[in-house]
Structure 1
Amino acid sequence: MSQTRTTTATSMPPVPNREDLDATWKYLEAGVSKIMSNLQEGMDMPTYMGVYTAVHNFCTSQKAVSNHSGVIGGAHRGAHLLGEDLYQNLITYLNSYLRELVAVSRTHADEALLTFYIREWDRYTIAAKYINHLFRYLNRHWVKREMDEGKKNIYDVYTLHLVQWRMTLFSEVHEKVMDAVLKMVEKQRHGETIEHSQIKSIVDSFVSLGLDEADPTKSTLDVYRFNFERPFLEATKAFYQAESKQFVAENSIVEYMKKAEIRLDEEEERVNMYLHQDITVPLKKTCNTALIADHSGILRDEFQVLLDNDRYDDMQRMYNLLSRIPDGLDPLRAKFEAHVRKAGLAAVAKVAVDADKLEPKVYVDALLEIHTQYQGLVKQAFKDEPEFTRSLDNACREFVNRNQVCKSGSNKSPELLAKYTDALLKKSATGAEENDLENTLTQIMTVFKYIEDKDVFQKFYSRMLARRLVHTSSSSDDAETSMISKLKEACGYEYTNKLQRMFQDMQISKDLNTGFKDFESGLMEPGDDKPVDATYSILGTGFWPLNPPNTDFTPPAEIAKAYERFQSFYNQKHSGRKLTWLWQLCKGEVKVNYPKGMKTPYTFQVSTYQMAILLLFNESDKNSYDDIVKATQLQADVLDPALGIFLKAKVLNMSPDGDKPGPGKMFSLNYDFKSKKIRVNLNIAVKSEQKQEVDDTHKTIEEDRKLLMQSAIVRIMKARKKMKHTQLVSECINQIRSRFVPKIPDIKKCIDILLEKEYLERLDDDELGYLA
């Protein structure tokens, strides 16, 4: 065969007579040989046309007709038989040609074998295209008819070339070729430069040899997958298992992760450079198993060390690696959640030395610091992955609701958060920037999201909002509105309905005060004393979390006249409504002229109760405890703290001296009173009052919870009519948990109450029924 390929190109002899079949095939064989061996020297047009004509003649010869005389169409049958002869002769020729190539291939090895294989493959496939073109008549007639009749192992001439290559040459050399390929790849993995275009050519060759036996017009990747992909993956697995085992033994885990990242990137690049895209998924799986899954245990063990030392980059590296294997990240999420919870508890313990004196800001900042730190870690190292975010949320929910400050239950967190929000939204001397305030409110909502007892926050927040509105101590209406919008977005319209109604009442009150000023000026006669400059807030009973005064009170005459005029005005506008004066929330200012050596009169900011006490000293410099009680009707638990503030500020003197005001004590103005401030605030909340208010708020919360649970139970039973006791308890928890997490014993108590009230009845088999 080698001699045939090296002969000098000569012109072809004339096309033989079509009746001489042997001569015709010899003529064709010479043409095919010329194409197979010397195509690089070109083919002249006479030769090309000669071969094409000889194929046509061969397939249309009349010689085979003699046995079929008298049969219509016998010529076609003859053509059919002769087409088969030509097809078989071509197979015989190709087999002979390819067997010679197999013999030559045995003299080559490794890269030389690859070079030989690629060169011969290129020559062979190019020649096959030419021969396919020259044998078009055979393809169009005989091959097509055979295939249409369902004959097996019949192919067009080009495909026949591929089939013969696969059967004769490929079957003999593919293992040696693949060994050479794998040696080259290993060299590259060790850092050597290789001619990777050779491997690409081998891959393309293997892919081209995939033919669907059922339908020769279609191709498959079976040959490539079995003969290239499978050994390549096995070699890859063995290489990385050996390398990684040795590397882990000699280096740190962090260094190993860097090495694994590099190797994985290299394999991806290898696919792009010279491998078939079909190998992408199995190659990734193989590499992930050898480089990651086989070492996942030691990687996960290292995770806690990285967490403890805030090694964000290394944690990101570990996340990227373990995310490539099934369930690789689950143990990391569990460790992360436990770590964040522990960090949160430690942060609270650090600031909560004395829980009773704990500043709300210090507490909330401690919670936020941990959340911000680990949210940053989730974002940077864990790509904001939802499951890691869920682990962060679970951990935050734990340490926000169950920490050292919340030992007696989870009520303390919402209470302190509400107090911190109150401090932010109050007017302050520093006056926080609007943007800073908005950002801080957003952070507060972060903590609020984790609070389980949202009803506790609501109750404290609404009471504090009420005071800010009544005392006009809000830093900004916009900030107040923004906070309510945030709460509404988090918990819905019902949660903030009363808060919004409180704002509406304050706006209505402003309009009402304008109308009252006009009404009051119409009552004035020439020479009348100027009335007390007062403003009034009308607060709807159902919306404001305020209680009537807990003491009797007789207001001073100066105030009594003013409020009677307002009551008269209000009754004209709204007949039938009853006003209840909330004296404990009223406040005012009084000008003070009595201290000695005073250049400018002082202004005392006082509660209405304090005002009533001070105005008694206009009539007399001294008043006994009993005189004050008689004039004001104040009870001791309100009067004593008010007098105590006056004594502490040295506005009044008490005799005989003692710790506390009480019966038998005499009070006199201190003419030596001095203050650095012109405006002196004496309207200060007493700690005992604050504690009482907190206790009252918690009692209200408990009562509201009982009603909420009862209404939920009735609502569920009304819809279901009958229900098992345990199912009712479970459904009740599901409906209420967005406001607070109800305790099962409390739900059972509520069920008992509803049974007594005959809303429910007991049925057989631990079932409850609804009574309409």
Structure 2
Amino acid sequence: MPNENQFQIEYFINKICSCEQVSPELIVKTQSIISDPEYITTCLESTLNDLSENARLMSDVDLLVFYIKHWKNYRLMCDALYTSCLSLNLQRIQYNFSQEEKQIENISVTSQRLWETILIKSLFSRVTKACLNAIDEHRNNRLNLDPNIIKDVLNIYSDENLYILIKQDKINRTITDIYIDCFESQYLQNAQKFFTDRKNHLRTDELIEYLISISNYLHNELTFAKRYLPAERSTYSDLTDILEHLFFFGNIFHNVWNDLELLVEQENYFQIANFYKAINQVPRIKNVVVELIETEFYHSGRRTFRSVDKDAMEVN
């Protein structure tokens, strides 16, 4: 094969492996120079191996974006590769080169197998760790994470096609549900560990400040988690239960009454307003505290509520 043709084919394979849109003009141009299907396969395999090595040096987020892009597009890229071989295929049929014809017809299947082996399956474990690491980094305020990236990865985990691929490997034969076995269980453990540590750094003897702090923690965590956790799974509900059981211990809501009563006696309506603003973010805390206020504070008269409402509006 002339060097110029090799260069053109390598350029085409690199374009295919970038998972970018391949123009019809480029496909037609490549059709006219392809003469050796084995060279196509060899070139594709080499390029995918290079991509796999480069992916191991990526940051967690970059790896997730890379994996999502290839998962969504690699079958289309393999179809484009097959289309580029149609001209040669017709020539082989015309001259009845049955063996070569079979090679061409299977180029799409061969390329998919290479893609799945070299990228999809080999990077799977690292992608799982990267997904959990990125969430942990975001919790620690060290990473500005786009929740749609995590959402896309979790959608892949629920894809039956990925399950079939992963189950083909003997090393992964114990996986029955990729989402649960590879993400959910560790995700909930990480959340419990992280917020247990946060709780240990909070002073529970100052209940007003404690509830303000955990209201902010829960609001930030649950609001963000809701943007990427799949609605059809129970993970969000399980996460909420874990956090509520962790932070809402004993008679905390009844014990807070003494602190609220003291704030009212001191006419510290600004702090009460701050407290209300914080707990208003978390329905479970808000509902319990509001019920407590309605039960106890009505004895203090409507004037107290007007003062609290006025300050609350100023804070908001």
Q: TM-score, normalised by structure 1?
A: 0.27
Identify the residue that residue 302 of structure 1 maps to in structure 2.
256
Q: Which residue, out of 199, 213, 220, partners 1:244?
A: 199
Superposed CA offset, 1:678-717 (max 9, x none): xxxxxxxxxxxxxxxxxxxxxxxxxxxxxxxxxxxxxxxx
User: Which residue identity is paired with 2:230?
Assistant: D
Question: Kindly tell me: are residues 203 and 170 of structure 1, through their superposed partners in 2, closer, same or farther at Cα, counting changes over 3 Å?
Answer: farther
Equivalences for residues 678-717 of structure 1 within 5 A? none
Quote how far apart the aligned CAs of 1:303 are.
1.9
Secondary structure of 1:248's partner? coil
User: Paired residue for 1:290?
Assistant: 243
For the pair 1:129 / 2:76, whether they are aligned, the reply is yes
Tell me which residue corresponds to 1:260.
Answer: 214
Which amino acid is 1:212 matched to? E
- Report the equivalent of 2:7: 10
TM alignment of 1:270-669, pairs within 5 A: 270-271=224-225, 275-276=227-228, 278=230, 282-283=235-236, 286=239, 289-290=242-243, 294-296=247-249, 297-307=251-261, 309-310=263-264, 312-313=272-273, 316=276, 320=280, 323-324=283-284, 329=288, 333=291, 337=295, 343=299, 372=302
Residue 103 of structure 2 corresponds to which residue in structure 1?
Answer: none
Root-mean-square deviation (CA, aligned residues, Å) is 5.6
- 8 Å Cα contact 2:158-2:178 kept in structure 1: yes
Q: CA deviation at 1:240?
A: 1.6
Other structure's SS at 2:122 match: helix
Q: Given the superposition, is the C-alpha separation of residues 380 and 11 from structure 1 closer, same or farther in structure 2, using an over 3 Å criterion?
A: same
Cα deviation, residue 262, structure 1: 2.4
Distance 1:45 1:242 in 2: 58
- Structure 1 position 243, deviation (Å): 0.6
Partner of 2:145: 196
Q: Which amino acid in 1 is paired with 2:152?
A: D
Q: Structure 1 residues 242 and 284, CA, compared in 2 at 3 Å: closer, same or farther?
A: farther
CA distance in 1, matches of 2:197, 2:292: 31
2:65 to 118, 128, 137: 118
Aligned to 1:178: 131
- Judge conservation of contact 1:316–1:380 (CA < 8 Å) in 2: no
Measured against aligned partners, the alpha-carbon deviations of 1:403-427 in whole angstroms (never above 9, x if no partner) come to xxxxxxxxxxxxxxxxxxxxxxxxx
Alignment deviations for residues 81-125 of structure 1 (CA, whole Å, 9 cap, x no partner): xxxxx9xx98x998886566555555x3xx635435534654675
> Which has the larger share of strand?
1
Letter of the 1:196 partner, please give it: L
The residue identity in structure 2 corresponding to 1:201 is: I
Task: Return the offset for 1:301.
Answer: 0.6
Deviation at 1:9, TM superposition (A): 6.6
Q: Deviations over 1:215-247 (max 9, x none)?
A: 99xxxxx65565445433432222122112211
- SS of residue matched to 1:276: coil
> Residue deviations 1:433-455, cap 9 Å, x none?
xxxxxxxxxxxxxxxxxxxxxxx
Aligned to 1:235: 190
Larger Rg: 1
Query: Per the alignment, in what secondary structure is the counterpart of residue 259 of structure 1?
Result: helix
Kept in 1: contact 2:60–2:131 (CA 8 A):
no
Paired residue total: 263
Contact 1:253 1:302 in 2 (8 A): yes
Secondary structure of 1:247's aligned partner: coil
Q: What SS does the corresponding residue of 1:131 show, helix, strand or coil? A: helix
CA contact (8 A) 2:16 2:22 kept: no
Q: Does 1 or 2 have the higher relative contact order (CA < 8 Å, sep 6+)?
A: 2
Structure 2 unaligned blocks of 5 or more: 86-107, 165-176, 312-316
Cα gap change, 1:95/1:201 in structure 2, threshold over 3 Å: closer, same or farther?
A: farther
Shift of residue 212 of structure 1? 2.7
Structure 1 residues 156, 224: CA separation in 2 closer, same or farther (over 3 Å shift)? Answer: farther
The residue identity in structure 2 corresponding to 1:10 is F
Residue by residue over 1:451-499, the C-alpha shift from the partner in whole angstroms, topping out at 9 and shown as x without a partner, is xxxxxxxxxxxxxxxxxxxxxxxxxxxxxxxxxxxxxxxxxxxxxxxxx
User: In the alignment, residue 132 of structure 1 is paired with which amino acid?
Assistant: D
Task: Output the CA distance in 1 between the equivalents of 2:163 and 2:65.
Answer: 27
User: CA 1:170/1:123 → structure 2, altered by over 3 Å: closer, same or farther?
Assistant: closer
C-alpha contact (below 8 Å) 1:113/1:177 kept by paired residues: yes
Q: Is the 8 A contact 2:254 2:292 kept in 1?
A: no
Partner Cα distance (1:339, 1:46) in 2: 75
Match of residue 45, structure 1, among 18, 25, 38: 25
Q: 1:283 to 1:94 in 2, by over 3 A?
A: farther
Which amino acid is the alignment partner of residue 276 of structure 1?
A: Y
Q: Residue 244 of structure 1 contacts residue 291 of structure 1 at CA under 8 Å; is this kept in 2?
A: no
1:209–1:223 contact (8 Å) kept in structure 2:
yes
For residues 9-51 of structure 1, the C-alpha deviation after alignment (integer angstroms, 9 at most, x for no partner) is: 7235xxxxxxxxxxxxxxxxx7974444577797783754655
